[in-house]
Copies of this chain bind each other. A is one copy, B any other.
Amino acid sequence: MGNKKILLDHGSGGKISHALLKEMILPVFHNDLLSRLDDGARIDIGGGISIAFSTDSYVVDPIFFPGGNIGDLAVNGTVNDIAMCGGEPKYISAALILEEGFSVDDLKSVLDSMAEAASKAGVIVVTGDTKVVPKGKVDKIFINTSGFGLIPFGVNLSGSNARPGDKVIISGTIADHGITILSAREGLKFDSDIKSDSAALNGMVKKILEIATLEKGRDERNRAAISERLLNSVSISDSGSGLSSSGSCLDSEPGLDSERNPDTCSGVHVLRDPTRGGVGTTLNEIAQQSDVRINIWEDAIPVKDAVHGMCELLGFDPLYLANEGKLLAVVSAEIADIVLDIIKKDEFGKDAAIIGEVVRPEPCGVFLQTSIGGSRIVDMLTGEQLPRIC
């Protein structure tokens, strides 16, 4: 490798990031858990208990931006990564690296946002670390959050589970976070409500998994009737008492486990939050992991008008801009409408839409059906659109 240097591209989340991961990191640490390349690791700790474990460092610039700051971003990001693995996040860590001279008031604001985000997501910060480095050796504040959560019995999510016939759902408008950071960094002012979508999606995920299970378990009944009942009952399902008593996979029933299909929640195959690298890169990851072709429909992808305008003006493709409060769900066609309805009823999912489908194994990749009837390949992000986006 001689004089090779790390480039910003290596942190893009796109093609070059994946090359670094596959050529340097995976071979060194080679193990099956890491090699799955999901948002976190799924670990069987024995006794039938599985845990989702995830980590992320946050280096966003600027640290304060419309819709949030590095503090809530760090909490929501790790909460979401755990949730996308099927885990129910409950405990997280917070490790701060501070620059000498950083404002104590700003630190207080960041900590307050972390605490508020944690409270909203229903997680607690149980351990942490604080380092201070001399001025100029780090830019203001970087935060690492890690965390874990129990994975309910029967939940088996992975980027490698997408199957031909599946539908692809996005939980809302894309590129909000990316365009917000870009605008804030460049000092661009514009009259609009563009702000980061930073949010914890573990509540939404819980409902999706509950619905999927119920639907799978009720084949004998009228589908429409079930769907209506489910939708009506979701509003009380947050407590875990509403749905879990009626056979949800989130409810363990001792004695029945051995007879159960470990694929109970199989209607929901993949959950992913399209952060760094955006929807385009995340769908490519899923296509590669599952070895499938995914078609998405340009007209179906929700983008706010203001975001669309900014992207046109500045030459950015919203498919590659980061989201921090959205999820992609790849689900079986039979439950796609139900899952969509569930997401739309969630606080963070009102703009959700079915944006594509998994069509067949080959050629592996992501293809966009454009508004004017054409089709183009959506590759992984090449190069770095926007460093320090999260």
Q: Which residues of A contact B (CB under 8 A)?
A: 1-12, 17, 20-21, 24-25, 28-29, 31, 33-34, 40-41, 43, 45, 47, 49, 51, 53-57, 59, 61, 91, 93-105, 107-108, 111-112, 114-115, 118, 124-134, 136-139, 142, 144, 146, 148, 150, 387-388
Contact = CB atoms under 8 A, between A and B. Distances in A.
Contact of A55 (B95, B111, B112, B137): B95
A99 B1 contact: no
Contacts of A137: 59, 61, 138-139, 388
A70 to B, nearest CB: 12
Contact of A59 (B1, B34, B55, B131): B131
A276 B98 CA distance: 16
A95 B41 contact: no
A131 B6 CA distance: 11
B55 A6 contact: no
Contacts of A55: 93-95, 127-129, 144, 146
A43 B96 CA distance: 22
Contacts of A20: 130
Nearest to A116: B28
Given A57-B95, A133-B387, A105 B25 contact: no
A16 to B, nearest CB: 9
B108 A33 contact: no
Nearest to A132: B11
A139 B132 contact: no
A28 to B, nearest CB: 5
Contacts of A101: 5-6
A115 B43 contact: no
Chain A at the B interface: mostly helix, strand, loop or mixed? mixed
Given A95-B144, A98-B6, A104-B1, A57 B131 contact: yes
Given A57-B144, A115-B28, A34 B133 contact: no
A253 to B, nearest CB: 15
13 contacts: A6-B98, A11-B130, A11-B131, A25-B128, A28-B112, A28-B114, A29-B94, A54-B127, A57-B131, A132-B387, A137-B138, A138-B142, A146-B146
Contact of A1 (B2, B12, B97, B105): B105
A126 B34 contact: yes
Given A29-B118, A104-B5, A124-B29, A132 B10 contact: yes
A99 B336 CA distance: 43
A356 to B, nearest CB: 27
Given A126-B34, A130-B25, A6 B97 contact: no
Contact of A111 (B28, B100, B133): B28
Contacts of A2: 105
Nearest to A31: B124
A43 B126 contact: yes
A326 to B, nearest CB: 19
